[in-house]
Structure 1
Amino acid sequence: MAGKAATKAPDDLSGAYRAVWRWHFYAGVFVMPVLMLLALTGGLYLFKDEIDGALYRDMIRVPAAQTQTAPETWLTSAAQAADGGRVANLVLPAQADQAVRLRVDRPDGVQKTVFVDPHTGRVTGVIPAGGFMELVKKTHSLTLLGRPFNILVEIVAGWTIILFATGLYLWWPRGRA
């Protein structure tokens, strides 16, 4: 009998340590898929200007010129291109060879982004409001899938705190070399 007791490994882990490890594991399993999605879409959103520049290059790039048409011309052109509506937002270009972006709110509730050449007043393109990056933003907040999934993001935030706290407890040295 004494031989059996001598070969048995001592149990170093306390019950509290095992419970914390279990909470940490389940929090990680629940949280990680959502955090990975948030990291991916958040990373994409960091490159908003570069992605928009690549996707909408033909609409954004215009020949640079010294003269510029009146802003009222931009508003009129944008409203006509979006099939009516009111211009609600205007984004001036950073460089002379870029189009002005105008968001048009139509009477039916649809929003459009219209690109207008500031030098000629010509519309260079129309896309849904926000374009691809609006889809990325809605995916990031999970509003694309509805209100319950948006609430899921808030729940994940709480579980992330549990994941961090239990991870800190598990990492903290306790008299080990």
Structure 2
Amino acid sequence: MKRTFRPGWYSSGSPVFLRRLAGGGAVASEVHQHRVMHELDTAAQDYAIFLNDLFSYQKEIEYEGEMHNMVQVVETFLGVDRNRAAAVVAELMKARMEEFELLVEHDLPAMFDELALDAATRAVLVDHVAGLKDWLSGILEWHRRCARYTEAELQRSRVPTTPSGLPLAPVGLGTSAARVFAGSGR
């Protein structure tokens, strides 16, 4: 039995979805719903999510109290420390990238033949895959260079709180200038 997947598994604002739009509608939706395309897109999406969770762990867990981070989930589920959990997430990232590469090398050409796709459609799909590769390398580089997750930035943006957890400074939309002024010693 041939499996097909509905395209609604990701939001219309996701980079994977936007990559599909770049094809200008030149590819039938049935092709995008094919198992190979679904697996390519989900492998890329998973890699990106795991990457973000590795870089954002400290910010989300220690500074924001967020509990929806893959490293935290692995820590809790496997009962391991933060370093081992991060290593597991990195291993999952590697596995998803290896799957992506295998799909591109073997399954995508087989899908082209199976569906008897014309040269123009094949070119659009090859461009889609190239765009996913560019996106993945781009987000990796962004996370490496971005100050957002550095200790200095996390400390700078932290709002002091009372022992009960209430903020000592104004918080919310439009209050960042008050925090900068309060931290300047004036």
- TM-score tier by shorter-chain length is under 0.3
The structure whose Rg is larger is: 1
Q: Which has the higher helix share?
A: 2
Q: Tell me the TM-score normalised to structure 2 length.
A: 0.27
Q: Which has the higher strand share?
A: 1
Q: Tell me the TM-score normalised to structure 1 length.
A: 0.28
